[in-house]
Amino acid sequence: MFTATLLTNPAAPNLDRALVESLRNAWGGGEAHWLAEGEAAEFPLAIKPDTLWTVWEDLQKAHVDLVLQPTEGRRKKMLLADMDSTMIEQECIDELADEAGVGERVKDITARAMNGELDFEGALTERVGLLKGLDESVISRVLAERITFMPGGKALLATMKANGAYAALVSGGFTAFTAKVASELGFDENRANTLLVENEKLTGAVGYPILGREAKVQALKEITARLGLAHEDVLAVGDGANDLGMLGLAGAGVALHAKPSVAAECDIRINHGDLTALLYIQGYAKSDFVGL
């Protein structure tokens, strides 16, 4: 059995009952269940429709996301999340670069790296090098003034953890940011790269080994082994090329507002919903959410 879930942006809910019923009828699905009026609905299917991606493309024009998953096991026991442009709305290194006066140059490198056009480690080393001499105190200012959480994150963490799940934040960014984000959102652990500092100024270097694509895969393997979980028990979410390894290994890999080249490699693509979409695709109704 499969479950089809239709989602919209909770800030501008526009999921129409007629649309849901029309698709359910066309695919011969079971009775539709509304997870949140105007925001999310689901219905069961016996077989995977041949027209899935054609319908998906049509629904994108209506600002509706469509996700099809095996029904069994879709409620996960672990969340493994990227940070930049996933749990927060910014790229931390870009914000630091703005403060250092090299914002546009660094943003270009970041965009190309996240799209898979550049080697992640080389791109990170180059960008951090451009931050040399920046006061360490700028990190705290950026955290306080520039960083905002992706909508739905607190509900996602609180709800999954209330239902027994473990949550890990694994970032190609920096521990100075992941520690704060993990603490505020309720992650159980966080892993990231370290910005090296001397005399209260950034040295322009990053600590080794650099946490990139393979380190995220390794984190998934290590944490599941430690907790006695299977890879199928993991819901992973990210937006960049360095997330593809963990997204592919997890039981459910979600490309959230991802670069086109990244989304193209993932079966679960959320382009319009926020982080509460990760609860809806597990079958949680809005009335089940914790921390809203």
- Among 271, 279, 241, 265, CA closest to 118: 241
What are the residues whose beta carbons fall under 8 Å from the beta carbon of 100, sequence distance 6 or more?
130, 131, 133, 134, 138
- Among 77, 115, 85, CA closest to 252: 77
What are the residues whose beta carbons fall under 8 Å from the beta carbon of 31, sequence distance 6 or more?
43, 44
Per the listing, tokens 């469509």 go with 66
Give Cα 37 distance to the centre of its chain. Answer: 24
* Catalytic residue of the set 84, 239, 243, 274: 84
Report how far apart, in Å, the C-alpha atoms of 92 and of each of 134, 207, 272, 289 are: 14, 17, 23, 29
Q: For residue 288, give both structure tokens.
A: 């089940």
- Among 83, 189, 201, CA closest to 143: 83
Give yes or no: 84 in active site: yes
Give yes or no: 50 in active site: no
CA distance 155 to 279: 9
* Catalytic residue of the set 16, 50, 58, 82: 82
Backbone angles phi, psi at 85, to 5 degrees: 60, 20
List residues with catalytic annotation.
82, 84
